[in-house]
Structure 1
């Protein structure tokens, strides 16, 4: 899920840089194609004199037949612990390992669904969090591959809800704010939140706090401890295919907090 074309460019440029720094001779690309197209076909690679680098790049790409590591995060938009996990672990890990991992976001957290009340949802951090949850649910529904970038932008901002519109314009300019507002203020937003409520209530074991993450649909105390402290290392460890070069780095353990 959520592939970025820039990964190909970065990987190829890294290969070229490594050869240059090691003293090896390497081709100087001089062609009419931008770097993002260098490995699109053998003909382009030959014209740009990067066929060797493209072959090396293809050799280290993950095998598409090997399933990715699925990380599903249940969270509240204003929960400090959730915001820290998204901005310090989940998004950076996905940025580096998106070829071998899938991220699913379920903004609901410790919300309670009370259909008989004036407001159908009661949130741990007040009405503003309910509003933030619904905005993010609508963003995920409407923006597709750009959703995680928009959510990260919101969660890393000083004011999550106030940043929604500028973050949307920055990372998903083709989606109008009017469409998000229509979702939030209309029936679609309530349906999305109700679906998130169903998914959250169906967790087994039942969640007791957020952030709450399942790995490949499973939750255990061991998986939670690893996911919340060393998610990058956990994804590399669980991936059953050939490990990407990014997985060879040293493990760094981060602190965690809960709501």
Structure 2
């Protein structure tokens, strides 16, 4: 199995150091190779700062703000799942230094005055449960949340995948804490906040997936839905990372 280019280069350099009698990554490095270039601090502790800098994988003193991409979506919406798995997550994987992703699971749901079931959802009660599970996971897991949501949305059954995806990407977060969020008041509070964010959209959303960039909606949905990678590169105001020379991935435009 081939390693990704950056990781392969770093592993080669470190292996070459060992074979030539030079020092290998410092004992203070407690991170797997896949995370060595995640931040400047990790790169320094793992003694690979030079290699990460040469590959432009880390950028200290970055003053240009990242492109803020906010997705308003539904957990069981087929077109939302396609967008997350084939556009948003791959783009974030390549461009996470220059983009920040916010996920708002709610979409076309409705908030109703009912003690037992305060929300109705486009794809039924299972979607309301899925929305709340994902809202709780986003709240509880922080930086691992997007990976967990991607894992769920790419699975055959989104709800069944929640527990194993959580264990895979955030093993320190217990499923019982997610259950407490779902059954207690926190889950409803999170969904109420998502409902308020969705209702505040200007212009109002007419379908999902609905995407804003730096808080603004773009009329050019063709670019958003089929060429997100290129669009993020275009919107970033700083020095473009090498990944931005890649070609766009084009998909058919569709909505729920």
Q: Is the pair's TM-score, using the shorter chain for normalization, greater than 0.5?
A: yes
Task: Give the alignment of 1:175-214 within 5 angstroms.
Answer: 175-214=173-212
Residue 28 of structure 1 is matched in structure 2 by: 16
Decide whether the 8 Å contact of 1:114 with 1:120 is kept in 2. yes
Whether 2:227 is the aligned partner of 1:227: answer: no
Distance 1:44 1:62 in 2: 16
**SS across alignment from 2:103:** strand
Decide whether aligned partners of structure 1 residues 249 and 16 sit closer, same or farther in structure 2, where only a CA change above 3 A counts: farther
Decide whether the 8 Å contact of 1:63 with 1:242 is kept in 2. no
Residue 4 of structure 1 is matched in structure 2 by: none
Task: Give the alignment of 1:1-259 within 5 angstroms.
Answer: 11=6, 13-14=8-9, 28-30=16-18, 31-33=23-25, 36=36, 39-40=43-44, 44=47, 51=50, 53=51, 56-57=54-55, 61=59, 64-116=62-114, 118-222=116-220, 224-259=221-256
Distance 1:85 1:15 in 2: 32
Decide whether aligned partners of structure 1 residues 12 and 158 sit closer, same or farther in structure 2, where only a CA change above 3 A counts: closer
Distance 1:200 1:55 in 2: 39
Aligned length in residues: 237
Distance 1:199 1:241 in 2: 29
- Cα distance per residue 1:176-235 (max 9 Å; x no partner): 00000110111000000000000000000000000000011001211x321111000000
**SS across alignment from 1:105:** strand
Structure 2, gaps ≥5 residues long: none
Cα RMSD of the aligned pairs, angstroms, is 2.7
- Post-superposition offset of 1:32: 3.2
Decide whether the 8 Å contact of 1:85 with 1:256 is kept in 2. no
Decide whether aligned partners of structure 1 residues 44 and 228 sit closer, same or farther in structure 2, where only a CA change above 3 A counts: closer
Decide whether the 8 Å contact of 1:75 with 1:106 is kept in 2. yes
Structure 1, gaps ≥5 residues long: 1-8, 21-25
- Cα distance per residue 1:138-186 (max 9 Å; x no partner): 0000000110011001000010011111111111100000000110111
